[in-house]
């Protein structure tokens, strides 16, 4: 196929990466998520392939691999940003509770909507379809909140990361219920979680201590390969593999906290910090490239006409209204009245797509239109965009008003003392 010849592929890949970089620049100025522009680019390429009568290409295996690697890179990138300090304990717990309750309540209401409106949908399948639609997209949120105040930015990084991890664990817990041989119940699930945490901590200490002593200049991709291996092996062992990535990121980002007492003597902080700094850079770069191709290929594979279906619009709209209604209540309770633009920063994205394609065959329902997925992703991203633009304008108006109010001067008069 001429389109997929070697030199054409090099040109296509290079142009997509350049466009993605430009989209990021546009996103910073306009607050339109780069992800939306990448999906539109993918849809445009889809029509382009149809126009040149190109043979059908099965993009799903590529999409699945990109999604998994992208997920690992995004969670690692987020974990490397998180500082564990005593004064941050309350914000971390607050964001965890908001992520947990938001995920569970949104999935519950979405499951009820899907159960009522989609023929042949049983309640278990409804929960499996609803869970991906209830997970926040850290792939969209983390790059989009850089200009927010530090405490708001921090809240969104914590919340979206927790939502990703809890959502994936919840999805695979529900999927395991379909197979009695793999269903271990709550006790088995808790044991699995504790085992994963122990393995994660041991692996994190071992990786840092080993890699600080490797003298080769080419070791960062080796480190990433080790993390990918741990994730894949963990999945084969039915562990919560994403926790391995999260804990490693937290340990290397907070080495002084984890290496105390006798352990501090084993750590060469200067070398280990150098690894952290370089890992931070390469993780961000890799996440950018993987995210780019994931959403472009997603745009290539979706049926864009499905979002114009009236049933899709009704079901999607009800799910979206429930998402923001639940979020408004949680924000009011845990954040207070100053909840703009946080209230509307709840986009769905990479994990929603990835888990949708991971729904077991025995739980799949023919009546579910994938346009619901696309509708929710696009609508929540646009709502976030308008909220961010409004917030930016509001901030600019406040700054301009402050600048217009000139600071005046008054003549100082010495106080007089009255004689009694």
What CATH number does the domain containing 247 carry?
1.20.1530.20
pLDDT confidence of residue 54: 61
Per-residue pLDDT at 316: 94
In a domain? residue 311:
yes
Tally of domains in the chain: 1
Whether residue 79 lies inside any domain: the answer is yes
Per-residue three-class SS string for 357-373: CCCCHHHCCCCCCCHHH
Domain that holds residue 385: 62-359+367-399
The list of the chain residues with pLDDT below 50 reads 420
Cα gap 348→103, rounded to integer Å: 12
- Predicted TM-score (pTM) of this structure: 0.81
Residues 129, 122: Cα–Cα separation, whole Å: 11
- Whether residue 128 is contained in a domain is answered as yes
Q: How far apart are CA 265 and CA 261, in angstroms?
A: 8
**Residue 51 in domain:** no
Q: For residues 74 and 168, give the distance between their C-alpha atoms in angstroms, rounded to a whole number.
A: 14
User: What DSSP string runs through 93-128?
Assistant: HHHHHHHHHHHHHHHHHHHHHHHHHSTT--HHHHHH
Q: Do the domain assignments include residue 27?
A: no
Non-local (6+) Cβ contacts of 98 within 8 A are: 159, 330, 331, 334, 335
Whether 269 is in a domain gets the answer yes
For residues 194 and 175, what is the distance between their CA atoms, to the nearest angstrom? 20
pLDDT value of position 280: 83
- Over residues 16-53, the pLDDT tens digits come to 999 999 988 888 787 777 888 888 898 888 888 777 76
d(CA 250, CA 348): 24
Length of the chain: 420
Gap between the Cα atoms of 323 and 106, Å rounded: 6
Nearest to 306 by CA among 260, 372, 254: 372
> Whose structure tokens read 């850079």?
281
In a domain, 410, yes or no: no
305 inside domain: yes
Distance from chain centroid for Cα 147: 17
The pLDDT of residue 18 is 93
pLDDT of the residue at 411 = 58
Assess contact for 165 and 131: CB atoms under 8 A.
Answer: no
Establish whether the linkage from the previous residue to 341 is cis, with ω within 30° of 0: yes
The reported pLDDT for the residue numbered 56 is 64
């Amino acid at each position: 196929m001429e389109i997929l010849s070697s030199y054409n592929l090099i040109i296509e890949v290079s142009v997509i990466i350049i466009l993605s970089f430009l989209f990021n620049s546009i996103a910073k100025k306009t607050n339109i998520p780069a992800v939306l522009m990448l999906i539109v680019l993918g849809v445009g390429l889809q029509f382009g392939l149809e126009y040149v009568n190109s043979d059908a290409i099965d993009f799903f295996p590529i999409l699945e691999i990109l999604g998994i690697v992208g997920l690992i890179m995004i969670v690692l990138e987020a974990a490397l940003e998180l500082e564990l300090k005593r004064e941050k304990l309350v914000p971390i717990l607050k964001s965890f509770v908001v992520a947990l309750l938001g995920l569970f309540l949104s999935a519950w209401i979405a499951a009820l909507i899907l159960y009522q409106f989609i023929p042949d949908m049983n309640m278990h399948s409804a929960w499996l379809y609803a869970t991906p639609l209830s997970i926040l997209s850290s792939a969209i949120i983390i790059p989009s909140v850089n200009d927010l105040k530090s405490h708001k930015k921090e809240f969104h990084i914590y919340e979206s990361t927790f939502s990703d991890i809890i959502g994936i664990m919840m999805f695979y817990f529900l999927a395991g219920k379909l197979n009695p041989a793999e269903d271990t119940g709550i006790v088995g699930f808790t044991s699995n979680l504790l085992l994963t945490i122990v393995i994660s901590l041991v692996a994190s200490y071992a990786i840092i201590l080993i890699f600080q002593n490797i003298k080769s200049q080419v070791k960062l991709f080796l480190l990433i390969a080790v993390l990918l291996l741990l994730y894949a092996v963990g999945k084969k062992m039915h562990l919560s593999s994403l926790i391995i990535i999260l804990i490693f990121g937290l340990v290397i980002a907070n080495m002084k906290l984890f290496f105390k007492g006798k352990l501090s003597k084993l750590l060469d902080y200067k070398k280990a910090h150098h690894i952290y700094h370089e890992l931070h850079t390469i993780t961000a770069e890799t996440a950018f490239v993987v995210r780019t191709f994931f959403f472009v290929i997603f745009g290539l594979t979706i049926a864009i006409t499905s979002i114009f279906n009236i049933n899709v619009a009704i079901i999607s709209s009800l799910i979206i209204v429930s998402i923001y209604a639940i979020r408004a209540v949680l924000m009011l309770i845990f954040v207070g009245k100053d909840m703009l633009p946080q209230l509307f920063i709840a986009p769905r994205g990479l994990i929603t797509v990835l888990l949708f394609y991971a729904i077991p065959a025995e739980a799949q329902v023919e009546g579910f239109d994938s346009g619901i997925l696309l509708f929710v992703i696009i609508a929540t991203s646009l709502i976030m965009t308008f909220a961010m633009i409004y917030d930016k304008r509001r901030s600019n108006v406040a700054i301009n008003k402050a600048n217009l109010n000139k600071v005046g001067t008054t003549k100082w008069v010495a106080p007089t003392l009255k004689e009694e």
